[in-house]
Amino acid sequence: MNEFALNLDRYPAYVYDLPGLESHVRAICAALPGTEVYYAAKANPDPEILRTLAPHVDGVEVSSGGELAHVRETLPSMPVAFGGPGKTADELALSRTLKADRIHVESPNELARLGALGPADILLRANLPVHAPNAALTMGGPFGMDEDTLDHCARLLAGYPNLTLRGVHAHLASGLEAPVMLGLAHQIAEWAIPWLRSQGVDDPELNVGGGMAVDYTAPESRFDWQTYGAGLSRIPVKIRIEPGRAMTAYHGWYVTDVLDVKTTRGETYAILRGGTHHLRTPVTKGHDQPFKALTANGPERPVTLVGQLCTPKDVFARDVLVPSLAPGDVIAFTMAGAYAWNISHHDFLMHPKPAFHYRRWPDPAQSAARAPVPAP
């Protein structure tokens, strides 16, 4: 066992390094003077994570009534922005009783339903024709509104004196590096600032979304928050961002042990306790999850790391080089702090749930954790 060999009692286990997360978020916010940072709760709404981020961020962005109630209960005095398409009547009503500080309005229908409920501060979500090279995911589809629909909302607002237009929200793409993200923010500002002023909004707010790049093939790399912060500070209105993945991905680990190793039809598999029903990230993103073999250190061999599920899709990393493994060896998957446990199909096959630990854990940037190396 090495420096990672903290006694976890049983596997699989999630380990969240809260002190590491706190330093990370502190550095992010320090690089963004004058920009408001809201954490996108959907990346990982674990209460301990929310409480760790809370002293450093300006607010939390939620995308459902469930998230709204959870964040209000966990962090009662934290400013909350409520977004997402398809808000139900109950969710809109909840947003009023729980006093969400900002509502991101997605359509004229939603505007009318919200307007009937009482006072609210709103941002209109825009779907602008921006250019974003190399985005992992562009948010085309049912998100936000075109310019003519935004004009229509502005006219409707005259009939809803309860609603106060505060600004524009635009989360247009994800997986972008800082220079491209900045280009997007400037394109949004170029359209939104004059438009908001023409609607009589004196002190406009621009929420330019989340989506900062997290590179699973380079666990030690980080989004360039310094460049992003410096560029955003040149936009002459209040800017708000809502990162999720780039905040919490790096400080979660899924640690588990090898149950069996076997070779069939020429391919060697290490079968691990647990599976992608606990850590769905590699399947949804189509990547090899970065990992570190904590106990094995023999010569490296090509292995496919799989879980216990009865489906060929239950793969963490395919045909990667790993020190030769035996039952009982321990593997720690890194970058499992965002869109990991909370997006996974926990109940499939009814295996036991992982344990959860909140403690210091070596940073992947300082440890030998590395991107999986494909077998030659």
Ligand X SMILES: *Cc1c(COP(=O)(O)O)cnc(C)c1O
CB of 175 to ligand X, least distance (A): 7
Q: Segment near ligand X (CB under 6 A), from 15-23, 38-46, 188-196, 217-225?
A: 38-46
Query: How far apart are alpha carbons 237 and 309 in whole angstroms?
Result: 51
Which of 171, 251, 287, 292 is close enough to bind ligand X by CB under 6 A? 171
Q: Which of 310, 347, 350, 366 is an active site residue?
A: 310
> Residue 43, interface with ligand X (CB under 6 A)?
yes
Which of 212, 320, 340, 371 is close enough to bind ligand X by CB under 6 A? 212
Q: Segment near ligand X (CB under 6 A), from 107-115, 238-246, 269-277, 316-324?
A: 238-246
**Nearer to ligand X by C-beta: 242 or 329?**
242
**Nearer to ligand X by C-beta: 41 or 270?**
41
Q: Is 310 a catalytic residue?
A: yes
> Residue 211, interface with ligand X (CB under 6 A)?
yes
CB of 100 to ligand X, least distance (A): 14
CB of 177 to ligand X, least distance (A): 13
Binding-site size, ligand X (CB under 6 A): 17
Which of 17, 46, 61, 257 is close enough to bind ligand X by CB under 6 A? 61
**Nearer to ligand X by C-beta: 270 or 283?**
283
Query: How far apart are alpha carbons 295 and 327 in whole angstroms?
Result: 11
> Residue 209, interface with ligand X (CB under 6 A)?
yes
CB of 165 to ligand X, least distance (A): 18
**Nearer to ligand X by C-beta: 212 or 335?**
212
Query: What is the three-state SS of the chain?
Result: CCCCCCCCCCCCEEEECHHHHHHHHHHHHHCCCCEEEEEEHHHCCCHHHHHHHCCCCCEEEECCHHHHHHHHHHCCCCCEEECCCCCCHHHHHHHHHCCCCEEEECCHHHHHHHHCCCCEEEEEEECCCCCCCCCCEECCCCCCECHHHHHHHHHHHCCCCCEEEEEEECCCEECECHHHHHHHHHHHHHHHHHHHHHCCCCCCEEECCCCECCCCCCCCCCCCHHHHHHHHCCCCCEEEECCCHHHHHHHEEEEEEEEEEEEECCEEEEEECCCCCCCCHHHHHCCCCCEEECCCCCCEEEEEEECCCCCCCCEEEEEEEEECCCCCCEEEECCCCCCCHHHCCCCHHHCCCCEEEECCCCCCCCCCCECCCECC
Q: Segment near ligand X (CB under 6 A), from 210-218, 222-230, 263-271, 301-309?
A: 210-218
Which of 210, 219, 229, 275 is close enough to bind ligand X by CB under 6 A? 210
**Nearer to ligand X by C-beta: 58 or 319?**
58
Spell out the residues 6+ positions from residue 332 whose beta carbon is closer than 8 angstroms to its own.
4, 15, 253, 254, 255, 291, 292, 294, 369
Q: Segment near ligand X (CB under 6 A), from 187-195, 244-252, 276-284, 350-358?
A: 244-252
What residues from 70 to 89 belong to the interface with ligand X (CB under 6 A)?
83
Query: How far apart are alpha carbons 372 and 344 in whole angstroms?
Result: 22
> Residue 176, interface with ligand X (CB under 6 A)?
no
**Nearer to ligand X by C-beta: 83 or 229?**
83
> Residue 251, interface with ligand X (CB under 6 A)?
no
> Residue 314, interface with ligand X (CB under 6 A)?
no
Active-site residues, by number, are: 310
Give the interface with ligand X as residue ranges (CB under 6 A): 40, 42-43, 61, 63, 83, 171, 174, 209-212, 242-246
